Structures are given as C-alpha cells and as structure tokens.
Chain A
Amino acid sequence: MAGQVERAEGGAAPRLRPPRDICRKARWSGAVVAAVLAGAAGAQDGRVSTYEQMAPELRAMQDDDFSNPGLLWAQTGEELWAEPSGADEVACAECHGAAEEMAGVAAHYPDWDEESGQAVDLAARINLCRQRHQGAEPLERGSEALLALTTLVALQSRGQPIAPSEAPQMEAVRGQGEALYSTRMGQLNLACATCHDDLAGGRLLAAEIPQAHPTGYPQYRLEWQEMGDLDRRLRNCMVGVRAEPFAAGSQEFVALEAYLKARAVGMEMEAPAIRP
C-alpha cells in the first residue's frame, strides 16, 4: 500500500466518515443508509465522485479554470490540435473542425475499433488517428503530447453524463473488466472491489478510500505534480497491493476502464480533475 497511502493531505478527518452525499441522505432513511454503507456498488444513490470527498481548497482549485493546472495541458492540446503533423501534413482540426466538435466523445470511451478488432481507450483512439489519418508515429503512452491532446478532448465532455459505448462487442470487454476488478492480487491479496466497493469511505492512513469512479481523467494529482492518465492511477493501486501492474495501454487496463465507466454510468465527467 506504499505510495498511495503515505501522504498526509489537508482537510482529512482522522476517522471513518461516510462520503458527504451519503450523510445528507441519512436524514430521510436509515435503511437506505445502511444499504449504502454496506457498499452497494453501483446503487444509483450511493455513488459519489472522489471530488465530493476532497478538501474545499482542492475542489475550488478544480472548479476554477485559472487555478486548475489541467487547463494548461488542454491549452497545449489546443496548439497540437491545430498543428499539421505526420507525413500527410494534416492537422486534427482539418478533419474534425474545432475541438468543441469532440463534445461527448470522451464520455463514451473506451469504444470498439472495428478495424483492429479491439477495444481502445481515448488515448489509443487519438494515436490511431495519428497513424491512420496523419501518417504519423503514435505518441508514447503517458507523454506530455498525448496527455495534452487527450485532456483537450476529455475537456469537451466536462459536465456530461458518462454514457458507455453501445457497441455490442464492448459487453464482453466490460465482463472481462469486472472479472479483473474482483480478482485478488499481489502479495497483500486484495481485489479492487475489496477497497473500492467494500471499504470505500474508510481510511488507509491519510487517504480516504474513494469509490474509484473514472470521472476525471486525465487528471492532475498533487502527488504526481503533473497530469496522468487512468492507467497510471491503476498502476499505483496495483503496486500498492504489491502486484505486478498491467502494461500501460494494455487490454487489461482498457477492460478495467470499460467496467469502471459502466459502473459510473450517468455520473458527470469532470476532466481535468484535481486529486490529492
């Protein structure tokens, strides 16, 4: 659990404290609260973004485009979007128009790519465009340029509900993701579900265990001091339980994201999010 739990962050209460929204609901029904606290994952009412658990300063930082560092990455993305690239010397903008045309796209990723016959996340889709439509090399996973473009595209879905892809092939991918999510792993022998369904709202030292909704990726983590994608977050969680992480951009991570997105269906996209 090293890595994600050793920091003390501001505004953290020292004891088990259910997420804010759950407290509010506590006023009207004890039974609902009991069900939610028991970890009813996916239960419409109990789901909360990590945003709700953050200290007010962090929420303010995320909400204000002038203080949210993610917007700087989006700005770089905007420049890359307009820049002719690859052997074809063609810019994203020439085919897609303004970045605003990407509204709602990130909310339905990962999606199925017919041509390669596999599920792709947003970053992989952007790389496919580079290869197929610009005659360019794919950008390295986690690189500044790829994060910048992905942030720009994700930003266009801010405030929109997560709406998982309806491609029939994605059903099996989500199933694979759910299986991985429930599999115990690593020397500590814990599954994602143990922490994020059963123990969400509890504490691992300073960190409050969130429900793990992928609403805000790419995101700026204070711990990283930079933007990172969902793969990076999941690698941190896996190393935390002393497991061998899946490779960046692997089908396992795409499947996990597809499942997490389905689990978070209807929740608001908030990329670029800030996290502690």
Chain B
Amino acid sequence: MLAAALAAAPALGQGLEEPLTAVPGDPVAGAAIVGEPTRGLCLLCHAGPFPDVPFQGTLAPPLDGVGARLSVPELRLRIVDSRQVNSASIMPPYHSLVGLTRVGERWQGDTILSAQEVEDVVAFLATLTDPPIPEETE
C-alpha cells in the first residue's frame, strides 16, 4: 500500500503540485490551526511566530522562514505525509492513513487534518518568509 502511494506521488521530495481542493487555502484559517497547540499539534514539535504560545516545540526545525525555504508543492507534500520525504520522519502524516496501526476508535478512518485544512495550513506556511527572530539572552 505504501509502495503504491509512493509510486503515485511525484518524484520523491519534490512535492504535490495539485491542490487537494478547489477552494484556495485560507492563510488566516491555517494560522489558527498551526498556532493552536492542541489542534494542529505543530507546536508540540516546532517553534513558530506565535508569541502568545508559551511552550513551543524543540524537536523539529522552527517554522519561521519555511515559506522561503520550501515551495508550496513541497510544503503540501510534507503536511500530507512527511514520510514521503523522509521515511523515518517522526512528523505525523496529517492527511494519510497509510501504514497506521492501532488507531483509537474515536479517530479511526479520519486523517488528522481534512483536505481543506491542509490547504489552509499550506497557505499560511507560504506566508512565513521571514527568518526566526534571534532569541533574546536571558
């Protein structure tokens, strides 16, 4: 199943050119998903430009500047299923059910984000073109 999904994807690491929905992503809605720690869960692992969120992640690269580092198709692929870029990635597959085991009853058959939510998140990430603000010394 994984092999089929990989074969269907464009050349590894390049990205998903096609938007998942016809409605263009809304960066404001995307910011709400990324910035709310219990919704997108992104800030469990990443830091980002959300000064109001006190405990941000230290387990992954900061999201600041990611819109300058990666193209929209590259961002989309990483949110849909980061394992297609790095098979050992610990980042949850936000819009894929491939290879999941023991999913809790409440969550069975559901991806973490819907197709439209993925588009919103991608639209928001694309706006993050400024590098991280250097941390103030304590």
Contacts and interface: CB of A to CB of B under 8 A. Distances in A.
Interface of A: 1-2, 5-6, 8, 12, 14-16, 183-190, 194, 198-199, 202-206, 238-239, 242-245
Contact of B92 (A190, A205, A206): A190
Contacts of A242: 103-104, 106-107
Contact of B90 (A14, A16, A194, A205): A194
Given A187-B103, A205-B37, A244-B103, A14 B55 contact: yes
A14 B102 contact: no
Contacts of B104: 186-187, 238-239, 242-245
A12 B90 CA distance: 24
10 contacts: A1-B41, A187-B92, A187-B110, A190-B90, A202-B58, A203-B55, A205-B43, A206-B54, A239-B104, A243-B102
B134 to A, nearest CB: 14
Interface in B15-42: 37-38, 41
A74 to B, nearest CB: 34
Contacts of B38: 1-2, 6
A5 B44 contact: yes
Given A1-B44, A204-B44, A205-B37, A198 B101 contact: no
A204 B57 contact: yes
Interface in B40-55: 41, 43-44, 54-55
B90 A198 contact: yes
A17 B104 CA distance: 32
A96 B7 CA distance: 64
Contacts of B112: 187-188
B136 interface: no
Nearest to A15: B58
B129 to A, nearest CB: 25
A8 B54 contact: yes
Contact of B44 (A14, A205, A239): A205
Nearest to A206: B55
Interface in B115-138: none
Interface in B62-113: 90, 92-93, 99-107, 110-112
A187 B100 contact: yes
Nearest to A5: B44
Nearest to B41: A1
A203 B43 CA distance: 10
B107 to A, nearest CB: 4
Given A1-B38, A194-B90, 20 more contacts: A1-B44, A14-B55, A16-B58, A183-B101, A185-B101, A186-B107, A187-B92, A187-B100, A187-B103, A187-B112, A198-B90, A202-B59, A203-B55, A203-B57, A205-B43, A205-B55, A242-B106, A242-B107, A243-B103, A244-B102
B128 to A, nearest CB: 21
A245 B107 CA distance: 13
A161 B105 CA distance: 39
Contacts of B106: 242
B26 to A, nearest CB: 24
